Structure 1
Amino acid sequence: MRKRRVFNETDALWLKPKRSIKEDEYNEFYKFISFDQDDPLLTNL
């Protein structure tokens, strides 16, 4: 029997209510999808 491994431990932002998402979560997501190392210039929270 194979052991299960979790590869992605983060929650999907698009499944969360907008008001519950923190700025650092937005920034991490932006960096992941854009392959950018800097924070976005503007975040509309």
Structure 2
Amino acid sequence: ASKIIYLLKNPSEASRFGENGYKMATSEFNLDKMIDNYLKFYE
């Protein structure tokens, strides 16, 4: 709970967390990468 309170008191830090999470999600879970992973799995 203390980490959530910290982010509520520091909106710029919360924004940075969100931006980094978005970048990680879009780079790790994009369609091309998911297709490649499925193809490798079933080969």
Band of TM-score, shorter chain: 0.3 to 0.5
TM-score between both structures, scaled by the size of structure 1: 0.33
Relative to total residues, which structure has the larger helix share, 1 or 2?
A: 2
- Scaled by the length of structure 2, the TM-score of the pair is 0.34
If asked which structure has higher relative contact order (CA below 8 Å, sep 6+), I would say: 1
